[in-house]
């Protein structure tokens, strides 16, 4: 399975956009890129996923590099409720495997 690399932590001001990066240089052609987040005392929550094209939904946008070796999760306006650990994961022949994620802090 392709491995992912994310920064351990990031900080954002409230109401500002946040760009969370993920490197997945060993991704294969049929692997999907998934993003989940985990709020304190809760299970992980699905955010978005994509294959090649950029994706938008009500929670976030996913920008995928042309070579697919990296991606960026974009939160357009961070709120205090977005403070969580964000996981980038690649799905191939086996179910999702999660890394350590990025802990996002949002400052009021």
Are the beta carbons of 46 and 108 closer than 8 angstroms? no
The answer to the question of residue 7 lying near other proteins (CB under 8 A) is: no
Report if residue 36 touches other proteins, rule: CB under 8 A: yes
The reply on whether position 94 binds other proteins by CB under 8 A is yes
Minimum Å gap between C-beta 5 and other proteins is: 13
Query: Which residues inside 49-88 make contact with other proteins, applying CB under 8 A?
Result: 49, 51, 87
Sheet holding 9-13, edge to edge: 9-13, 102-107, 84-91, 32-38, 45-50
Question: Residue 45 to residues 13, 39, 69, 86, 94: CA-CA distances in angstroms?
Answer: 22, 8, 24, 9, 19
Is 31 among the residues that bind other proteins (CB under 8 A)? yes
* Rg value, the chain, Cα: 13
For other proteins, the binding residue among 7, 10, 98, 103 (CB under 8 A) is 98
Q: Which residues bind other proteins (CB under 8 A)?
A: 30-32, 34, 36, 41-46, 49, 51, 87, 91-101
């Amino acid at each position: 399975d392709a491995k992912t690399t994310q920064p351990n932590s990031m900080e954002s001001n409230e109401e500002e956009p946040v760009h969370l990066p993920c490197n997945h240089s060993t991704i294969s052609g049929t692997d999907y890129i998934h993003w989940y987040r985990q709020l304190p005392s809760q299970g992980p929550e699905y955010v978005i996923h994509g294959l090649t094209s950029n994706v938008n939904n009500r929670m976030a946008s996913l920008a995928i590099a042309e070579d697919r070796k990296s991606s960026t999760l974009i939160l357009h306006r961070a709120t205090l409720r977005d403070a969580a650990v964000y996981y980038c994961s690649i799905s191939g022949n086996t179910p999702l495997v999660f890394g350590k994620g990025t802990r996002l802090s949002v400052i009021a």
